[in-house]
Amino acid sequence: MALHLLEDWCKGMNINPRNCILVTGVPEAFDEGAIEPILRVSTEYLSKCKMRGRMFVREEGAFAVLCELPSAVEPLQVPGTIAVEDGEWTVITTGSQPSPVPASDVAFLKKMSAFLGKEGKTLADMPGLLGLDPGVPQRESAPSPDEWVKALGQALEKVMPPHPESSPYRKLRLFSGGPTPIPGEEAFEPWLEHTTEMLQEWAVPDAEKRRRLVECLRGPALDVIRTLKLSNPGVKVKDCLEALDHAFGRTEGSDDVYCKFLNARQQKGEKVSAYIQRLEKLLQRAIMRGAVAVGQMDRTRLAQIVRGIQYQNPILLHLRLRERQDNPPSYSQLIKEVREEEERQAAGEVWEEEVTILIANETRRD
Protein backbone atom coordinates (compact mmCIF):
# COMPACT_ATOMS: atom_id res chain seq x y z
CA MET A 1 0.00 0.00 0.00
CA ALA A 2 2.80 2.44 0.93
CA LEU A 3 4.42 1.99 -2.48
CA HIS A 4 1.11 2.69 -4.22
CA LEU A 5 0.66 5.77 -2.06
CA LEU A 6 4.09 7.04 -3.11
CA GLU A 7 3.33 6.53 -6.80
CA ASP A 8 -0.19 8.03 -6.64
CA TRP A 9 0.97 11.01 -4.59
CA CYS A 10 3.76 11.79 -7.06
CA LYS A 11 1.36 11.46 -9.98
CA GLY A 12 -1.03 13.91 -8.35
CA MET A 13 1.78 16.42 -7.82
CA ASN A 14 3.26 15.79 -11.29
CA ILE A 15 6.73 14.86 -10.02
CA ASN A 16 8.91 11.85 -10.84
CA PRO A 17 8.39 9.07 -8.27
CA ARG A 18 11.91 7.77 -8.96
CA ASN A 19 13.26 10.97 -7.37
CA CYS A 20 11.13 10.63 -4.24
CA ILE A 21 10.93 8.73 -0.96
CA LEU A 22 7.95 8.16 1.30
CA VAL A 23 8.48 8.27 5.06
CA THR A 24 5.75 6.56 7.09
CA GLY A 25 5.07 6.19 10.80
CA VAL A 26 5.53 9.86 11.69
CA PRO A 27 3.48 10.48 14.88
CA GLU A 28 0.57 12.89 14.63
CA ALA A 29 1.97 15.10 17.39
CA PHE A 30 5.41 15.37 15.78
CA ASP A 31 6.48 18.92 14.83
CA GLU A 32 6.11 19.28 11.06
CA GLY A 33 9.02 21.71 10.82
CA ALA A 34 11.42 19.20 12.42
CA ILE A 35 10.77 16.37 9.94
CA GLU A 36 12.97 17.58 7.07
CA PRO A 37 15.99 18.46 9.28
CA ILE A 38 15.85 14.99 10.91
CA LEU A 39 15.83 13.28 7.52
CA ARG A 40 18.74 15.38 6.24
CA VAL A 41 21.01 14.55 9.18
CA SER A 42 20.04 10.87 9.28
CA THR A 43 22.37 10.01 6.37
CA GLU A 44 24.54 11.96 3.96
CA TYR A 45 22.58 10.64 1.00
CA LEU A 46 19.42 12.42 2.22
CA SER A 47 21.21 15.68 3.05
CA LYS A 48 19.58 17.45 0.07
CA CYS A 49 16.09 16.00 0.34
CA LYS A 50 13.17 18.42 0.32
CA MET A 51 9.84 17.80 2.03
CA ARG A 52 6.98 18.16 -0.47
CA GLY A 53 4.04 17.43 1.82
CA ARG A 54 2.53 15.15 4.45
CA MET A 55 -0.67 13.13 4.67
CA PHE A 56 -2.44 11.39 7.53
CA VAL A 57 -2.86 7.64 7.00
CA ARG A 58 -5.92 6.44 8.92
CA GLU A 59 -4.96 2.76 8.86
CA GLU A 60 -1.61 3.48 10.54
CA GLY A 61 -2.75 6.31 12.79
CA ALA A 62 0.29 8.32 11.70
CA PHE A 63 1.49 10.70 9.02
CA ALA A 64 3.22 9.81 5.77
CA VAL A 65 5.70 12.37 4.42
CA LEU A 66 6.71 12.79 0.78
CA CYS A 67 10.28 14.01 0.11
CA GLU A 68 12.04 14.71 -3.18
CA LEU A 69 15.75 14.35 -4.02
CA PRO A 70 17.67 16.20 -6.76
CA SER A 71 18.15 13.01 -8.80
CA ALA A 72 16.91 9.43 -9.08
CA VAL A 73 16.95 7.60 -5.75
CA GLU A 74 19.31 4.67 -5.35
CA PRO A 75 17.48 2.27 -2.98
CA LEU A 76 20.72 0.79 -1.64
CA GLN A 77 21.80 4.23 -0.43
CA VAL A 78 18.57 4.86 1.51
CA PRO A 79 18.12 3.34 4.99
CA GLY A 80 15.02 1.19 5.43
CA THR A 81 14.26 2.84 8.76
CA ILE A 82 15.25 6.05 10.53
CA ALA A 83 15.56 5.99 14.31
CA VAL A 84 13.96 8.91 16.16
CA GLU A 85 13.40 9.67 19.82
CA ASP A 86 9.96 8.03 20.06
CA GLY A 87 10.62 5.06 17.76
CA GLU A 88 11.47 4.76 14.10
CA TRP A 89 10.16 5.82 10.73
CA THR A 90 9.96 3.59 7.65
CA VAL A 91 11.38 4.78 4.34
CA ILE A 92 9.80 3.63 1.07
CA THR A 93 11.26 4.08 -2.45
CA THR A 94 10.10 3.00 -5.87
CA GLY A 95 12.78 0.30 -5.65
CA SER A 96 11.37 -1.09 -2.40
CA GLN A 97 10.23 -4.71 -2.49
CA PRO A 98 6.81 -5.76 -1.17
CA SER A 99 8.44 -8.76 0.48
CA PRO A 100 11.77 -9.11 2.31
CA VAL A 101 14.73 -9.35 -0.06
CA PRO A 102 16.97 -12.41 0.45
CA ALA A 103 20.23 -11.53 2.15
CA SER A 104 22.20 -13.01 -0.76
CA ASP A 105 20.46 -10.63 -3.21
CA VAL A 106 21.15 -7.63 -1.00
CA ALA A 107 24.83 -8.58 -0.73
CA PHE A 108 25.06 -9.02 -4.50
CA LEU A 109 23.45 -5.64 -5.21
CA LYS A 110 25.79 -3.95 -2.73
CA LYS A 111 28.80 -5.50 -4.44
CA MET A 112 27.42 -4.48 -7.83
CA SER A 113 26.86 -0.93 -6.61
CA ALA A 114 30.42 -0.75 -5.24
CA PHE A 115 31.87 -2.15 -8.48
CA LEU A 116 29.94 0.30 -10.64
CA GLY A 117 31.09 3.12 -8.36
CA LYS A 118 34.74 2.27 -9.03
CA GLU A 119 34.01 2.47 -12.76
CA GLY A 120 32.28 5.86 -12.39
CA LYS A 121 28.80 4.36 -12.82
CA THR A 122 25.74 3.88 -10.60
CA LEU A 123 22.79 1.51 -10.56
CA ALA A 124 20.80 4.29 -12.20
CA ASP A 125 23.08 3.91 -15.25
CA MET A 126 22.15 0.24 -15.71
CA PRO A 127 19.25 0.86 -18.15
CA GLY A 128 21.59 2.78 -20.46
CA LEU A 129 24.34 0.13 -20.15
CA LEU A 130 21.80 -2.52 -21.07
CA GLY A 131 20.61 -0.56 -24.07
CA LEU A 132 17.19 0.11 -22.55
CA ASP A 133 15.16 3.28 -22.96
CA PRO A 134 14.39 4.72 -19.50
CA GLY A 135 11.26 6.37 -20.94
CA VAL A 136 9.69 3.05 -21.94
CA PRO A 137 7.43 1.60 -19.22
CA GLN A 138 8.77 -1.56 -17.64
CA ARG A 139 6.91 -4.77 -18.30
CA GLU A 140 4.95 -6.22 -15.42
CA SER A 141 6.45 -9.71 -15.61
CA ALA A 142 9.93 -10.17 -14.15
CA PRO A 143 12.77 -11.06 -16.55
CA SER A 144 13.75 -14.70 -16.71
CA PRO A 145 17.10 -15.82 -15.19
CA ASP A 146 18.55 -16.29 -18.67
CA GLU A 147 17.57 -12.75 -19.63
CA TRP A 148 19.19 -11.38 -16.47
CA VAL A 149 22.41 -13.27 -17.16
CA LYS A 150 22.53 -12.00 -20.74
CA ALA A 151 21.75 -8.41 -19.72
CA LEU A 152 24.27 -8.44 -16.89
CA GLY A 153 26.95 -9.80 -19.20
CA GLN A 154 26.29 -6.97 -21.67
CA ALA A 155 26.61 -4.40 -18.89
CA LEU A 156 29.85 -5.85 -17.56
CA GLU A 157 31.37 -5.89 -21.04
CA LYS A 158 30.83 -2.14 -21.22
CA VAL A 159 32.32 -1.24 -17.83
CA MET A 160 34.99 -3.92 -17.35
CA PRO A 161 38.28 -4.09 -19.25
CA PRO A 162 39.03 -7.43 -20.88
CA HIS A 163 40.65 -9.96 -18.58
CA PRO A 164 44.37 -10.34 -19.31
CA GLU A 165 44.02 -14.05 -19.99
CA SER A 166 41.36 -13.35 -22.63
CA SER A 167 43.71 -11.11 -24.61
CA PRO A 168 45.37 -13.10 -27.39
CA TYR A 169 49.14 -12.85 -27.34
CA ARG A 170 52.19 -14.73 -28.48
CA LYS A 171 54.54 -15.93 -25.77
CA LEU A 172 57.76 -13.99 -25.51
CA ARG A 173 60.96 -15.60 -26.66
CA LEU A 174 63.19 -17.16 -24.03
CA PHE A 175 66.26 -15.41 -22.71
CA SER A 176 68.66 -16.47 -19.95
CA GLY A 177 71.79 -14.35 -20.35
CA GLY A 178 73.88 -17.33 -19.25
CA PRO A 179 77.29 -18.31 -20.66
CA THR A 180 75.69 -21.29 -22.42
CA PRO A 181 72.54 -20.31 -24.37
CA ILE A 182 69.49 -22.53 -23.77
CA PRO A 183 67.81 -24.19 -26.79
CA GLY A 184 65.93 -21.58 -28.82
CA GLU A 185 67.62 -18.62 -27.12
CA GLU A 186 68.74 -15.71 -29.30
CA ALA A 187 71.14 -12.85 -28.71
CA PHE A 188 70.12 -10.13 -26.30
CA GLU A 189 69.73 -7.28 -28.80
CA PRO A 190 67.15 -8.95 -31.10
CA TRP A 191 65.42 -10.43 -28.02
CA LEU A 192 65.10 -6.98 -26.43
CA GLU A 193 63.81 -5.47 -29.67
CA HIS A 194 61.14 -8.16 -30.07
CA THR A 195 60.14 -8.10 -26.41
CA THR A 196 59.81 -4.30 -26.30
CA GLU A 197 57.57 -4.28 -29.37
CA MET A 198 55.33 -7.06 -28.02
CA LEU A 199 54.93 -5.45 -24.60
CA GLN A 200 53.97 -2.15 -26.21
CA GLU A 201 51.26 -3.84 -28.27
CA TRP A 202 49.55 -5.70 -25.41
CA ALA A 203 46.62 -3.75 -23.96
CA VAL A 204 46.98 -5.19 -20.44
CA PRO A 205 47.99 -3.69 -17.07
CA ASP A 206 51.67 -3.18 -16.35
CA ALA A 207 51.61 -5.89 -13.68
CA GLU A 208 50.41 -8.42 -16.25
CA LYS A 209 53.13 -7.36 -18.68
CA ARG A 210 55.71 -7.86 -15.91
CA ARG A 211 54.35 -11.34 -15.20
CA ARG A 212 54.62 -12.32 -18.86
CA LEU A 213 58.14 -10.92 -19.02
CA VAL A 214 59.22 -12.99 -16.01
CA GLU A 215 57.73 -16.11 -17.66
CA CYS A 216 60.22 -15.92 -20.53
CA LEU A 217 63.33 -15.35 -18.41
CA ARG A 218 65.74 -17.99 -17.16
CA GLY A 219 69.02 -18.12 -15.24
CA PRO A 220 70.94 -14.87 -14.69
CA ALA A 221 68.32 -12.77 -16.49
CA LEU A 222 65.63 -14.00 -14.11
CA ASP A 223 67.92 -13.29 -11.15
CA VAL A 224 68.22 -9.66 -12.28
CA ILE A 225 64.44 -9.15 -12.14
CA ARG A 226 64.07 -11.07 -8.87
CA THR A 227 66.65 -8.80 -7.24
CA LEU A 228 64.90 -5.75 -8.66
CA LYS A 229 61.54 -6.89 -7.26
CA LEU A 230 63.02 -7.40 -3.79
CA SER A 231 63.69 -3.67 -3.52
CA ASN A 232 60.55 -2.65 -5.44
CA PRO A 233 57.77 -5.29 -5.72
CA GLY A 234 55.77 -3.04 -8.06
CA VAL A 235 58.63 -2.26 -10.41
CA LYS A 236 57.46 -1.19 -13.87
CA VAL A 237 58.18 -3.21 -17.01
CA LYS A 238 60.17 -0.28 -18.45
CA ASP A 239 62.52 -0.44 -15.47
CA CYS A 240 62.83 -4.23 -15.82
CA LEU A 241 63.88 -3.92 -19.46
CA GLU A 242 66.27 -1.14 -18.56
CA ALA A 243 67.89 -3.31 -15.86
CA LEU A 244 68.27 -6.19 -18.33
CA ASP A 245 69.79 -3.81 -20.87
CA HIS A 246 72.33 -2.62 -18.32
CA ALA A 247 73.20 -6.21 -17.41
CA PHE A 248 73.34 -7.82 -20.86
CA GLY A 249 73.23 -5.03 -23.46
CA ARG A 250 76.03 -3.21 -25.15
CA THR A 251 78.01 -0.98 -22.84
CA GLU A 252 76.99 2.26 -24.50
CA GLY A 253 76.51 5.52 -22.66
CA SER A 254 73.40 7.64 -23.07
CA ASP A 255 75.36 10.19 -25.11
CA ASP A 256 76.58 7.51 -27.54
CA VAL A 257 73.09 6.11 -28.04
CA TYR A 258 71.56 9.54 -28.56
CA CYS A 259 74.30 10.45 -31.02
CA LYS A 260 73.51 7.36 -33.11
CA PHE A 261 69.85 8.38 -33.12
CA LEU A 262 70.62 11.92 -34.28
CA ASN A 263 72.98 10.68 -37.01
CA ALA A 264 70.47 8.23 -38.48
CA ARG A 265 69.49 9.34 -42.01
CA GLN A 266 67.32 7.84 -44.70
CA GLN A 267 69.49 5.79 -47.01
CA LYS A 268 69.32 5.87 -50.78
CA GLY A 269 66.52 3.61 -52.00
CA GLU A 270 65.15 3.16 -48.47
CA LYS A 271 61.40 3.67 -48.03
CA VAL A 272 60.33 6.30 -45.54
CA SER A 273 58.41 3.65 -43.56
CA ALA A 274 61.53 1.47 -43.34
CA TYR A 275 63.57 4.45 -42.18
CA ILE A 276 61.02 5.28 -39.46
CA GLN A 277 61.02 1.68 -38.24
CA ARG A 278 64.83 1.65 -38.12
CA LEU A 279 64.84 4.99 -36.33
CA GLU A 280 62.31 3.75 -33.77
CA LYS A 281 64.69 1.06 -32.55
CA LEU A 282 67.36 3.69 -31.91
CA LEU A 283 64.83 5.93 -30.17
CA GLN A 284 63.69 3.16 -27.84
CA ARG A 285 67.30 2.46 -26.89
CA ALA A 286 67.85 6.15 -26.23
CA ILE A 287 64.79 6.20 -23.98
CA MET A 288 65.98 3.15 -22.05
CA ARG A 289 69.38 4.81 -21.54
CA GLY A 290 67.69 7.94 -20.23
CA ALA A 291 68.81 10.11 -23.13
CA VAL A 292 65.22 10.94 -24.14
CA ALA A 293 62.27 11.47 -21.79
CA VAL A 294 59.17 9.37 -22.50
CA GLY A 295 57.04 12.50 -22.55
CA GLN A 296 59.19 13.93 -25.38
CA MET A 297 59.24 10.71 -27.42
CA ASP A 298 56.80 11.73 -30.18
CA ARG A 299 58.26 15.21 -30.57
CA THR A 300 61.85 13.89 -30.69
CA ARG A 301 60.93 11.22 -33.23
CA LEU A 302 59.22 13.60 -35.62
CA ALA A 303 62.00 16.19 -35.38
CA GLN A 304 64.60 13.58 -36.38
CA ILE A 305 62.41 12.24 -39.20
CA VAL A 306 62.13 15.75 -40.65
CA ARG A 307 65.93 16.09 -40.44
CA GLY A 308 66.71 12.59 -41.65
CA ILE A 309 64.35 12.18 -44.62
CA GLN A 310 65.84 13.02 -47.99
CA TYR A 311 65.25 16.64 -48.98
CA GLN A 312 61.96 17.43 -50.72
CA ASN A 313 60.62 13.91 -50.25
CA PRO A 314 56.96 13.97 -51.44
CA ILE A 315 55.77 12.14 -48.33
CA LEU A 316 57.35 14.82 -46.15
CA LEU A 317 55.40 17.42 -48.11
CA HIS A 318 52.07 15.64 -48.52
CA LEU A 319 51.78 14.70 -44.83
CA ARG A 320 52.96 18.18 -43.77
CA LEU A 321 55.36 16.68 -41.24
CA ARG A 322 57.33 19.89 -40.73
CA GLU A 323 54.16 21.78 -39.82
CA ARG A 324 53.08 19.12 -37.29
CA GLN A 325 56.09 19.26 -34.98
CA ASP A 326 54.21 21.23 -32.33
CA ASN A 327 51.52 18.54 -32.21
CA PRO A 328 53.34 15.35 -33.29
CA PRO A 329 51.46 12.09 -33.99
CA SER A 330 52.19 8.88 -32.12
CA TYR A 331 54.39 6.22 -33.70
CA SER A 332 51.46 4.00 -34.66
CA GLN A 333 49.56 6.88 -36.26
CA LEU A 334 52.63 8.15 -38.08
CA ILE A 335 53.67 4.80 -39.54
CA LYS A 336 50.07 4.20 -40.64
CA GLU A 337 49.90 7.53 -42.49
CA VAL A 338 53.29 7.00 -44.11
CA ARG A 339 52.52 3.49 -45.36
CA GLU A 340 49.16 4.61 -46.76
CA GLU A 341 50.87 7.49 -48.58
CA GLU A 342 53.51 5.13 -49.96
CA GLU A 343 50.80 2.82 -51.29
CA ARG A 344 48.96 5.75 -52.85
CA GLN A 345 52.10 7.01 -54.56
CA ALA A 346 52.99 3.51 -55.75
CA ALA A 347 49.51 3.13 -57.28
CA GLY A 348 49.93 6.49 -59.02
CA GLU A 349 53.28 5.47 -60.48
CA VAL A 350 51.79 2.24 -61.84
CA TRP A 351 48.97 4.19 -63.43
CA GLU A 352 51.40 6.66 -65.03
CA GLU A 353 53.49 3.77 -66.38
CA GLU A 354 50.41 2.12 -67.90
CA VAL A 355 49.35 5.39 -69.54
CA THR A 356 52.86 5.83 -70.97
CA ILE A 357 52.83 2.31 -72.44
CA LEU A 358 49.34 2.89 -73.89
CA ILE A 359 50.42 6.15 -75.57
CA ALA A 360 53.55 4.48 -76.96
CA ASN A 361 51.48 1.63 -78.45
CA GLU A 362 49.06 4.08 -80.06
CA THR A 363 51.98 6.03 -81.53
CA ARG A 364 53.42 2.88 -83.16
CA ARG A 365 50.07 2.08 -84.77
CA ASP A 366 49.94 5.50 -86.34
Residue 104 has pLDDT above 80, yes or no: no
- CA–CA dist 192, 186 (Å, integer): 10
Question: Which one has a higher pLDDT value, 152 or 179?
Answer: 179
Residue 43 has pLDDT above 70, yes or no: yes
Q: Which of 267, 283, 286, 285 is nearest to 275 (CA)?
A: 267
pLDDT tens per residue, range 266-276:
988 899 999 99
Give the model's pLDDT for residue 200: 77
Q: Is residue 183 classed as helix, strand or coil in its secondary structure?
A: coil
Domain that holds residue 191: 163-251
In a domain, 129, yes or no: no
* Structure confidence at residue 20 as a pLDDT band (50, 70, 90): very high
In a domain, 140, yes or no: no
CB 124 within 8 A of CB 72: yes
CATH of the domain at 13: 3.30.70
Residue 3 has pLDDT above 90, yes or no: no
Q: Which of 251, 284, 310 is the last residue of a domain?
A: 251
Specify the DSSP class assigned to residue 235.
-
pLDDT tens per residue, range 239-253:
898 889 888 887 777
In a domain, 106, yes or no: no
Q: Which of 49, 53, 30, 32 is nearest to 41 (CA)?
A: 49
Give the model's pLDDT for residue 225: 93
Q: Which of 93, 113, 147 is the last residue of a domain?
A: 93
- CA–CA dist 318, 310 (Å, integer): 14
In a domain, 192, yes or no: yes
Give the model's pLDDT for residue 140: 45
Which whole number is the average pLDDT over 253-265?
Answer: 86
- CA–CA dist 349, 246 (Å, integer): 47
How many other β-carbons are positioned within 10 Å of the β-carbon of residue 116? Answer: 19
Residue 291 has pLDDT above 70, yes or no: yes
Alpha helices in 18-144 (DSSP H): 35-42, 103-118, 126-129
Q: Which of 42, 74, 93 is the last residue of a domain?
A: 93
Backbone angles phi, psi at 132, to 5 degrees: -95, 155
DSSP string, 268-290: TT--HHHHHHHHHHHHHHHHHTT
pLDDT tens per residue, range 186-216:
888 889 888 888 887 787 888 889 999 999 9
In a domain, 180, yes or no: yes
In a domain, 139, yes or no: no
pLDDT tens per residue, range 309-335:
876 788 888 888 889 989 999 988 899
Give the model's pLDDT for residue 300: 94
Give the model's pLDDT for residue 175: 92
Which whole number is the average pLDDT over 227-237?
Answer: 90
Q: Is residue 163 classed as helix, strand or coil in its secondary structure?
A: coil
In a domain, 29, yes or no: yes
Calculate the average pLDDT of the chain. Answer: 80
